Amino acid sequence: MRSSSEPDPAAGTRPDPARDEPRRALVTGGSRGLGLGVAMRLAEAGWHTTIAARSAEGLEQAVARARDAGLELHPQQVDVTDEDSVRALFDRVAADGPLHLCVNNAGANSSRLLVKPARGDRPLQRYPLADWENTLRLCLTGVFLTGREAAAAMVEAGVPGTIVQISSAARGGAYGQSGYSAAKSGVDALTRTWALELAGHGIRVVGVAPGVISSEALHHHCERDPRHADYMERLRERIPARRWAEVREIADAVLFAAENSYLTGTTLEVDGGGLPDRV
């Protein structure tokens, strides 16, 4: 333990609130679901928050929802799988001032079995290569591109900052989740690697791994497909907490990661005790 009389070697890497106000945050995939929930939580906590997503219409709707809640979000279009689009996004964000927080949230899950045995007239099916490549491009390459440009922006501006990576409880492997699990495991590896590389620049990198979230998309899917609803109910009963996460609970974890200046190189598990191997 360092005594009070000893100098703190990390003191120079900590944010100076007087110098860094307003605190500026960027949330990718911020037009709906968890991304929008995180963006609104950050805005509520006083962060100047930009949301980035592919759909202009979705961004407009998100800004309107935030406005109805008395909050202000700043929209920017981006395709996180496109290098030029990501670099252009950070150029536009930098025009408003230095970036202090990037939440790497954009992603999507598509369940696929590695192989499906033949049944009746249906031949044996294989996990489509296109689905694998699309999942990794969005959920891993997109994280790489966004995290790289966020780090470059912070280093170039000479200000301390934080990159929060949205991982998943499925990152250790999950039934029917080859692409998604592989991508999220890769996100965890990037989190640790970047934390080591960027610490000397005063940049922290923290992961947040949610379990299943009680989202609009989940409820909509369950309403459309009774079989999926039954499966999800059986899954919920196997989770130790016996319920889904609320968006606010995950957003609170992201805010904690953003504001705790001694947290880096780790992934916070916010999963109700973890997912079962299979239901």
Place of tokens 């990198």: 205
Residue 239 near residue 180 (C-beta atoms within 8 A): no
Closest CA to 76 of 64, 100, 60: 60
Strands (E), 5-128: 24-28, 48-53, 73-77, 101-104, 115-116, 125-126
Report cis status (omega within 30 of 0) of the bond before 75: no
Residue 100 near residue 162 (C-beta atoms within 8 A): yes
Output the CA angle 54-56-59, nearest 5 degrees: 90
- Tokens describing residue 65: 């929802």
How far apart are alpha carbons 196 and 200 in whole angstroms?
A: 8
Catalytic residues: 180
